[in-house]
Amino acid sequence: MGRINPHWVLARKPPGAWPVEDDFAWRETPAPTPGSGQMLTRTVYLSLDPYQWGRRRRGVEAPGDICHGRTVSQVVESRLAGFSEGDYLFNTNGWQTFGITGEGVTHFGYMFPRKLDPAAAPVSTALGVLGMLGLTAYAGLYLQSEPAHGETVIVSAASGGVGQIVGQLARLRGCRVVGVAGRAEKCAFVKDELGFDACVSHLAPDFREQLSAACPDGADVYFENVGGAVYEAVLPLLNPKSRITLCGLASQYGVMDSDIMDAWRQTGAPVFSRLGVKVNPLFVGDFVAGYQDTFLAEMADWLRSGHIHYREDVSSGLPLAPAAFGAMLAGNNFGKTLVEISPDPAR
């Protein structure tokens, strides 16, 4: 009997601000067969990220499409030179158990398959600290905002997958690092385990006052992950010639019928103009070709030396993907959000 491929498809263009159960539909079909120059791969880990909701609401994914997501997979059958059964890959299978990787398969431009060495690091890190998430933090902070020793860096969503790495990279540059997170346990993790100088809860009734007190010399760099009230609290703290990396606006992804990027810029425009603030929109695909190898080598060294720590939030089983996705968008995750689709033999 052939392999069955359980998967989630987008059931409809989402009508609401945030995902609900009816936005997704479970399907089970025969697993695909690889052609010449292709591989059949079994998904081990699925990455859940805020940008995926934006794709669905904008219509990039159509009803019936397998939900997009970056993955770590293991080769089941290979007809592609250089890859063998059992190899681990960083690829883009999406929300499914089996997928085709190789020639004739769209890997979302820069999302080409990359072979992984499970002896070098846990394979799940290819979706986090040693993957596009880590490169996002590295490119946005080091290559775009270029923090200098002694400057103050504010990081929103500081306990999340990107934020936790950004703050630690800033510390390596000798910066004062102030995180913004939610629950008390997240703030404690950011300060006590990741080594941020301070972490302020955006849930506190006096959040603005606490953030201002944590930045007595203002802010020179702001790494933007959420927008909304956090962004509005940061604006008065920006110093002349400060820099912003615009990575994401997670708190605004549920805003209906609005250009959230344009609204974000309009809110800050008077401050940006008066202070000469430089805003750097971040698309990590722009940095893969030129910086991926350097990033991977440096980050691997920092992990081995203990200079960088990371936390993952892992759910078990593909049926949990929609619930884990909704929890992540609501801020109920703690660290990089993953779903373990198949057992990880290398763990």
Domain ranges of the chain: 4-128+310-340, 132-284
Answer for the pair 221, 154: CB distance below 8 angstroms, yes or no: yes
d(CA 74, CA 92): 12
Average pLDDT of adjacent 10-residue blocks, the chain of 347 residues: 91 92 97 94 96 89 95 96 94 95 67 82 94 94 98 96 96 98 96 97 98 98 96 98 95 73 94 97 89 92 94 96 95 93 88
Res 142: pLDDT? 97
Rg (CA), the chain: 20
Res 259: pLDDT? 85
d(CA 4, CA 330): 32
Res 299: pLDDT? 96
Answer for the pair 227, 251: CB distance below 8 angstroms, yes or no: yes
Answer for the pair 8, 96: CB distance below 8 angstroms, yes or no: yes
User: For residue 147, what are the CA distances in angstroms to 150, 177, 243?
Assistant: 9, 11, 9
Q: Is the torsion defined by CA of 261, 329, 138, 340 positive or negative?
A: negative
Res 106: pLDDT? 66
Res 110: pLDDT? 40
Q: Tell me the helices (H) and strands (E) count for the chain, helix number first.
A: 9, 15
Which residues lie closer than 8 Å to 58 by C-beta, 6 or more apart? none
Pick the CATH number of 4-128+310-340 from 3.90.1150.10, 3.50.50.60, 3.90.180.10, 3.10.180.10: 3.90.180.10
Res 190: pLDDT? 97
Answer for the pair 279, 265: CB distance below 8 angstroms, yes or no: yes
Token pair of 239, please?
A: 């110093």
d(CA 10, CA 12): 6
Res 345: pLDDT? 83
**Does 132-284 carry CATH code 3.40.50.720?**
yes
User: For residue 225, what are the CA distances in angstroms to 64, 105, 309?
Assistant: 30, 31, 19
Angle, nearest 10°, between helix axes 321-329 and 51-58? 100
Answer for the pair 246, 224: CB distance below 8 angstroms, yes or no: yes
Res 260: pLDDT? 86
The partner residues of 209 in beta bridges, in order of sequence, read none
Domain 4-128+310-340 and domain 132-284, same fold? Reply is no
- Written as one string, the DSSP assignment of 157-225 is STTSHHHHHHHHHHHHTT-EEEEEESSHHHHHIIIIIS--SEEEETTSTTHHHHHHHH-TT-EEEEEES
The two beta strands, 88-91 and 114-116, are antiparallel
The DSSP call for residue 117 is -
Res 111: pLDDT? 44
Q: Could you count the other beta carbons within 10 Å of the beta carbon of residue 62? A: 11
Nearest to 321 by CA among 13, 25, 12, 5: 25
pTM, to two decimals:
0.88
Token pair of 70, please?
A: 């970056």
